[in-house]
């Protein structure tokens, strides 16, 4: 009877329909994430790092490894990576999910759940403030289906897009403020604040600042109960921070070892103009400008309908809530602007803003992206927006009005289709997962999160490029910089230029100062055409077509056939800016077009870069690396040294630079495919040699 009674109350309260509605809109507005649930991850870039977070904690706990302090990342250095954004609550929640579904599916489900829960939390908060169901529904729509949420999903910041606990925390505090600070209200408030903290340290700071704003508002309007309020808030804060104190103390000590911040760029602050204009990646921008672009959505854009209604809603909000809402909007909007005012990408004033002073407080210098404060501004404005429409929605045709307003908000905020990405995992990683000795680590020169994600396949200890883990402490930086052979491998794979265009033009126009060994140029692009492609270079090159190597070692001329389909071509060659560096590419005996021109060949040829740079959609994606002339030590000594450190392989990605390994040390890869080349560090005959495929 009790279960049936609780279920009936739940249904009558409208929560079940609300959750179903937000779930439906989530699947619709984040399309095509659900269609690729277990195959492609929502977003790109940092999404792979957060996917690795989920895998790592499950792997560490099941193998009895300390998940925070170990030598599995940047081996052989053992350190505590406390400042990395682990999002512990989400990570732990993913462990049972990973036992029944792929890792990518677990990540996507957590990301999608944040939209549903953020909307539902906002619905409950609005209902507590006295709004009707229709207005509360719209408050949730404006809060969760916002440019900020879609922008963070597209980037892959699982910790920051998971802001769903904030409205639950605010609701718990306001309930204690109104009904009295009973033991139940104190425990609930502390519990929700702990959920906020274990999802994002940024959001913990936002929540604590909000508590200060509420106490300040109470000091003005409710002086008779102010001491009681501040006492309860201190208890809530203490109950939250006490279990977190070991982590917080460790983070504070680790922070002292970080390098000095080089300053903020306009990417990390909220451009004042972007509050009022949709970003290039949004659906509204495409309608206004008739341009289709996948550029990043400015997360601080406030939909026009929401902003206009919020101005009117100020007149309707209860006096009890005006103080903290006004303080919330002013405080967090100003903080999101960063240390100085930026308007349309240009700093317009040297007058310091509040964020410049906030960063002077102990520990606050870790706040390197003030634009993230805007989530709190958006919450307050969403409440005012719903308040303005409450009485209007309660009149006739409430359902139709609610549907219309929902549609208008979504049209302004949508960023469909949400970008998804996949990883092509080389069979090499699966092979070495079963290889012996199992303890041999990898030096993997893939960029950042790629190397981490590949560790979820091979399960070996890893040394990689800087930036794999956020805010690496001093021992890691010292090892990378002071270990000669490691430093050499990383230095040769720090590109000096990445641009879209034609290889020879990029090489000529690049502002480079090549050393004695010149540079390595890697060009990648998609070709669509029919006929014979001929590539001639002044120096020997490697040419790959659709993952198959079509050039013999030492060749300066290669030919291959295109059959009209879209082919992936990759060219690697050395250069030193001399006349011998000419690069000629012909199709059916005629040169490929100049950048932006039409093909003059017998068959039309379309060339697009592997990665578009600065909206350039023609030519190749070209990366230029420096070449080192001397070795850190003799080849045999270098091999023995790396083995004493526990390394068994060196991996260079298909877009990387292998000059140091091939030409300086004179080593040959033991394995090579379209995605990577791998060098085995033992002295025995390589057992994983992948024969190069001849041209058909």
* Least confidently predicted of 130-139, 149-158, 231-240, 596-605: 596-605
* Least confidently predicted of 35-39, 209-213, 397-401, 655-659: 397-401
State yes or no: pLDDT of 686 exceeds 70.
Answer: no
Angle subtended at Cα 281 by Cα 277 and Cα 285, rounded to the nearest 5 degrees: 45
pLDDT for 281: 57
pLDDT for 610: 85
pLDDT for 609: 87
The pLDDT of 10-27, averaged and rounded, is 81
pLDDT for 211: 95
* Least confidently predicted of 199-203, 265-269, 343-347: 265-269
Q: Are 685 and 653 in contact (CB under 8 A)?
A: no
- pLDDT tens digits, one per residue of 67-115: 999 999 899 998 888 888 999 999 999 999 999 999 999 999 999 999 9
Range picked from 197-206, 478-487, 575-584 for highest mean pLDDT: 197-206
Q: Are 561 and 695 in contact (CB under 8 A)?
A: no
State yes or no: pLDDT of 695 exceeds 70.
Answer: no
Q: State the Cα–Cα distance between residues 598 and 639, nearest whole angstrom.
A: 50
Q: Could you tell me which residues come within 8 angstroms of residue 598 by beta carbon, excluding any fewer than 6 positions away?
A: 604
Strand 462-464 to strand 441-444: parallel, antiparallel, or no bridges (unpaired)? parallel
Distances (CA, A) of 499 to 229, 606, 616, 620: 58, 18, 9, 8
* Least confidently predicted of 252-261, 621-630, 651-660: 252-261
- pLDDT tens digits, one per residue of 337-376: 888 888 777 777 777 888 888 887 777 767 778 888 999 9
Burial of residue 598 (number of CB atoms within 10 Å: 0-12, 13-18, 19+): exposed
Percentage, residues of the chain above pLDDT 70: 87
Query: If pLDDT is split at 50, 70 and 90, which confidence band does 256 have?
Result: confident
The pLDDT of 550-562, averaged and rounded, is 85
Q: Could you tell me which residues come within 8 angstroms of residue 665 by beta carbon, excluding any fewer than 6 positions away?
A: 631, 635, 638
User: Burial letters for 251-263: b for 16+ Cβ neighbours within 10 Å, e otherwise?
Assistant: beebbeeeeeeee
State yes or no: pLDDT of 613 exceeds 70.
Answer: yes
Query: Chain-wide mean pLDDT for the chain?
Result: 84
Range picked from 50-54, 397-401, 540-544 for highest mean pLDDT: 50-54
pLDDT top residue among 366 and 628: 628
State yes or no: pLDDT of 278 exceeds 90.
Answer: no
Q: Which residue has the tokens 């963070």?
A: 152
φ, ψ at 208 (rounded to 5°): -65, -40
The pLDDT of 111-135, averaged and rounded, is 95
State yes or no: pLDDT of 294 exceeds 50.
Answer: no
pLDDT for 606: 83
pLDDT for 210: 96
State yes or no: pLDDT of 288 exceeds 80.
Answer: no
pLDDT top residue among 317 and 232: 232
The pLDDT of 561-584, averaged and rounded, is 84
State yes or no: pLDDT of 9 exceeds 70.
Answer: no
**Residue 684: how many other CB atoms lie within 10 Å:** 7
State yes or no: pLDDT of 290 exceeds 60.
Answer: no
Helix (H) or strand (E) run with residue 201 in it: helix 201-221
pLDDT top residue among 205 and 360: 205
Per 3-state DSSP, what percentage of the chain is helix, strand, and coil (rounded to 5)? 50, 15, 35
pLDDT for 10: 47
pLDDT top residue among 446 and 2: 446
pLDDT for 20: 93
Angle subtended at Cα 186 by Cα 180 and Cα 189, rounded to the nearest 5 degrees: 110
pLDDT for 599: 42
Query: If pLDDT is split at 50, 70 and 90, which confidence band does 1 have?
Result: very low
Shortest CA distance to 448 belongs to which of 429, 432, 472? 472
pLDDT top residue among 108 and 264: 108
State yes or no: pLDDT of 462 exceeds 70.
Answer: yes
pLDDT top residue among 498 and 512: 498
Angle subtended at Cα 469 by Cα 468 and Cα 473, rounded to the nearest 5 degrees: 120
Query: If pLDDT is split at 50, 70 and 90, which confidence band does 689 have?
Result: very low
pLDDT for 694: 31
Query: If pLDDT is split at 50, 70 and 90, which confidence band does 693 have?
Result: very low
**Prediction pTM value:** 0.90
User: Residue 627 in 3-state DSSP?
Assistant: coil
pLDDT for 192: 97
């Amino acid at each position: 009877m009790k279960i049936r009674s609780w279920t009936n109350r739940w249904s009558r309260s409208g929560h079940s329909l609300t959750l179903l509605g937000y779930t439906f809109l989530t699947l619709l507005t984040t399309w095509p994430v659900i269609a690729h649930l277990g195959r492609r991850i929502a977003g790109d870039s940092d999404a792979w790092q957060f996917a690795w977070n989920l895998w790592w904690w499950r792997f560490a706990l099941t193998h009895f490894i300390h998940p925070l302090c170990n030598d599995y990342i940047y081996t052989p250095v053992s350190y505590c990576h406390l400042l990395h954004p682990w999002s512990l609550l989400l990570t732990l929640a993913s462990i049972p999910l990973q036992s029944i579904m792929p890792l990518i599916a677990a990540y996507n489900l957590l990301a999608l759940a944040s939209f549903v829960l953020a909307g539902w939390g906002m619905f409950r908060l609005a209902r507590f403030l006295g709004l009707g169901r229709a207005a509360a529904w719209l408050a949730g729509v404006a809060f969760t289906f916002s440019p900020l949420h879609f922008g963070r999903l597209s980037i892959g910041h699982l910790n920051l897009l998971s802001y769903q606990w904030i409205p639950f925390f605010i609701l718990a505090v306001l309930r204690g403020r109104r009904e009295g600070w009973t033991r139940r209200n104190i425990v609930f408030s502390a519990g929700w604040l702990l959920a906020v903290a274990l999802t994002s340290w940024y959001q913990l700071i936002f929540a604590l600042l909000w508590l200060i704003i509420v106490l300040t508002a109470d000091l003005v309007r409710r002086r008779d109960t102010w001491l009681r309020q501040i006492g309860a808030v201190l208890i809530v804060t203490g109950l939250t921070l006490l279990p977190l104190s070991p982590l917080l103390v460790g983070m504070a000590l680790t922070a002292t070892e970080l390098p000095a911040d080089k300053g903020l760029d306009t990417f990390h602050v909220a451009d004042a103009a972007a509050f009022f204009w949709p970003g290039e990646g949004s659906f509204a921008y495409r309608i206004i400008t008739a341009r289709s672009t996948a550029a990043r959505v400015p997360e601080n854009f406030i939909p026009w309908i929401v902003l206009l209604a919020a101005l009117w809603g100020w007149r309707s909000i209860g006096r009890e809530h005006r103080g903290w809402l006004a303080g919330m909007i002013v405080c967090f909007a100003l903080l999101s602007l960063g240390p100085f005012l930026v308007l349309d990408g240009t700093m317009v004033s040297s007058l310091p803003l509040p964020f410049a002073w906030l960063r002077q407080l102990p520990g606050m210098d870790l706040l390197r992206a003030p634009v993230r404060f805007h989530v709190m501004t958006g919450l307050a404005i969403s409440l005012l927006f719903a308040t303005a429409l409450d009485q209007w929605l309660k009149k006739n045709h409430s359902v139709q009005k609610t549907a219309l307003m929902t549609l208008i908000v979504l049209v302004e905020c949508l960023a469909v289709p949400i970008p998804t990405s996949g990883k092509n995992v080389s069979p090499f990683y699966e092979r070495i997962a079963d290889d012996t000795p199992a303890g041999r680590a990898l030096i993997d020169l893939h960029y950042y999160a790629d190397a981490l994600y590949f560790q979820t396949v091979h399960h070996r200890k890893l040394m990689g490029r800087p930036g794999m883990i956020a805010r690496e402490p001093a021992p890691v930086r010292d090892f990378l910089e002071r270990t000669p052979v490691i430093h050499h491998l990383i230095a040769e794979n720090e590109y000096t230029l990445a641009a879209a265009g034609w290889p020879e033009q990029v090489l000529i126009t690049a502002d480079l100062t090549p050393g004695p060994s010149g540079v390595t140029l890697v060009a990648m692009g998609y070709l669509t055409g029919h006929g014979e492609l001929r590539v001639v270079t002044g120096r020997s090159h490697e040419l790959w077509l659709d993952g198959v190597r079509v050039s013999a070692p030492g060749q300066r001329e290669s030919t291959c056939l295109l059959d009209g389909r879209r082919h992936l071509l990759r060219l690697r060659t050395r250069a030193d800016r001399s006349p011998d560096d000419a690069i000629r590419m012909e199709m059916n005996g005629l040169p490929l077009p100049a950048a932006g021109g039409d093909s003059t060949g017998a068959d039309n040829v379309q060339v697009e870069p592997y990665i578009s740079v600065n909206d350039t959609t023609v030519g190749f994606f070209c990366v230029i690396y420096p070449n080192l002339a001397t070795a850190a030590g003799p080849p045999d000594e270098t091999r023995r040294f790396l083995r004493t450190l526990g390394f068994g392989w060196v991996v260079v990605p298909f877009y990387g630079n292998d000059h140091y390994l091939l030409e300086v040390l004179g080593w040959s890869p033991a394995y090579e495919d379209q995605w990577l080349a791998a060098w085995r560090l033992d002295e025995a005959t390589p057992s994983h040699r992948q024969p190069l495929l001849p041209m058909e």
